[in-house]
Structure 1
Amino acid sequence: MIEKKEQDILLKDVREQISAVLEHRAPQFLPVDSPQLARKRGAFVTLRRNGALRGCIGHIRAIAPLRETIRELACSSAFEDPRFPALTLAELGDLEIEISVLTTLKEVAGPEDFHPGHDGILIDNGRASAVFLPQVAEEQGWDRNQTLSHLCLKAGLRPMAWAESGMHFFTFQAQVFS
């Protein structure tokens, strides 16, 4: 569990990292001694502007300490999300930041073990994979079958590919804050 003080640090780090890149300067982060922020965790950074998605990039699996991961994802979300042009300095003031800190992936027996709105989901058939954060199904108003069908489309598969043999399902939860 990431405490409020640590959440605030991570949110400030995202804004500082993006600001520093846009202003062509070195970022200046507050020194913090926090075991939670030093722990390796998967995470996503989601950026919105005026309520509309502006970038979202993450790591499902833990590959680096959380604070380091968040800083990297800040830049990726702002400047490398292929769905959007790079963020500009003019947009910075309107930027809304959301961070999702993930639990470890857990393989489940099948789609019946996925609970939209509570679980995030990753599907993988060995050739293609895709992931949705826990909040996606709820934000879109999708039930389990709709979520899985949209996830298959995201992976470049037929909508009902989730019901075929050979599909693997992994769930996770997220602590989301903005």
Structure 2
Amino acid sequence: MFTDAEKRALLEIARAAVIAQVTGRLASDHGRSQDWGQTPAVRLPTGGQRDDWGQTPDVPLHTGASGAFVTLKRNGELRGCLGTLECRRPLEEEVARLAASTSHQDPRFEPVRSWELADLHFEVSVLGPLEAIDPRALDAFVIGRHGLVVEQGSRRGLLLPQVATEWKWNREEFLAHTCRKAGLPGDAWQRAASVYRFDAEVFGD
């Protein structure tokens, strides 16, 4: 579980990364330019002092996360969501990288524009490890607690736990939509596809 201070720190890092990507400035370097399309060197502010990241406490962040996703919303509508199932960097660096990428690399959306920044809301999902399940078992997963991954051959689809809650899906609908996210028929979970669940800690601003 993350503390409130850790959640605030990760959300501020995500926001600063998006601002830097969109405006071309690295917020923590007081205007020095950096290409956030590359993996940035991200740090938390130290000593609890205020700088361009905002008032962010100096807190140790968890390093055992299996994956992470960053979701952007504007006026209640999805504006981008990208993530990874394998964190290969410290979590704060992974969140910064994903936030910057989400602002301009989600193929479903146009890049975020500077005039949209004030209206953006941020959500971070930190994923636990994948667990193989038998989706036909009634206790295989819990709506609102678990996200799902469906995999068959080279195709893979993932939906975060909050998606099923937001759309008020039942178990079968959640499975079917995850299959379609993978580019598979909605009933692939009943046949050859492998299904996994994961826990996620989700928090937003």
Q: Secondary structure at the match of 2:88?
A: coil
> How far did residue 27 of structure 1 move?
3.1
Q: Secondary structure at the match of 1:170?
A: strand
Contact kept, 8 Å, 1:121 with 1:131, in 2: the verdict is yes
CA distance in 2, matches of 1:95, 1:111: 39
Do residues 30 (structure 1) and 45 (structure 2) align? yes
Contact kept, 8 Å, 1:110 with 1:168, in 2: the verdict is no
Match of 1:95 in 2: 120
Structure 2 letter corresponding to 1:106? E
Q: 71, 75, 94: which is aligned to 2:96? A: 71
Structure 2 letter corresponding to 1:173? D
> How far did residue 137 of structure 1 move?
0.8
Match of 1:10 in 2: 10
For each residue in 1:61-120, what CA deviation from the matched residue of structure 2 results, as whole angstroms up to 9, or x when unmatched?
A: 232211011000101111110000000110000000011111111112334312222110
Matches within 5 A, 1:145-164: 145-164=172-191
Unaligned segments of structure 1, at least 5 residues: none
Decide which structure has the larger Cα Rg and report it: 2
Do residues 127 (structure 1) and 142 (structure 2) align? no
Q: Secondary structure at the match of 1:115?
A: coil
Structure 1 letter corresponding to 2:154? R
CA distance in 1, matches of 2:141, 2:178: 13
Do residues 86 (structure 1) and 111 (structure 2) align? yes
Taking structure 1 as the reference length, the TM-score comes to 0.92
Contact kept, 8 Å, 1:98 with 1:176, in 2: the verdict is yes
Structure 2 letter corresponding to 1:141? K
Match of 1:52 in 2: 77
CA distance in 2, matches of 1:49, 1:35: 27
Taking structure 2 as the reference length, the TM-score comes to 0.80
Unaligned segments of structure 2, at least 5 residues: 29-43, 47-57
CA distance in 2, matches of 1:50, 1:35: 30
Fraction of identical pairs, as percent: 37
